[in-house]
A = this chain, B = another copy of it.
């Protein structure tokens, strides 16, 4: 398969696939004329890479993790890396949960205008929002 079809099936741009190759994340063979050629399994490969990117792993880290996916073995350093990233993801998830709770709280008090929510937050002079709002 050529690059365009892989891109469509994996839901990314061809530019992204070339970038992955540049970063050493995705291999490709070449036809005699120089066009990239991929096996069908590359689609799953790209989806996995995307999953790692979505999780916030930088390409350098993914580059270290992928060989471990293939070999099923991890050196001690890579093992540390995996554990550290897992912990970082867990921490990020709890940050997100906290922020979501804050938003839910806002939604709740916006829905139901009783005047006794968080009074401490509305005393000081948080002045310039009016100005900001006026300018729009």
Q: Which residues of A contact B (CB under 8 A)?
A: 24, 27, 39, 41, 44-45, 48, 51-52, 54-57, 63, 65-74, 78-79, 82-83, 85-86, 89-90, 92-93, 95-100, 102-104, 106-107, 109-110, 113, 115, 117-118, 120-129, 132-133
User: A48-B102, A70-B121 provided; 17 other pairs, C-beta below 8 A?
Assistant: A27-B125, A27-B126, A27-B127, A39-B124, A41-B121, A51-B95, A54-B99, A55-B99, A66-B129, A67-B133, A71-B122, A73-B113, A79-B107, A89-B103, A93-B93, A93-B96, A93-B100
Q: 10 closest A-B pairs (Cβ-Cβ)?
A: A55-B99, A74-B110, A24-B132, A89-B100, A86-B103, A39-B124, A41-B124, A27-B128, A54-B95, A67-B129
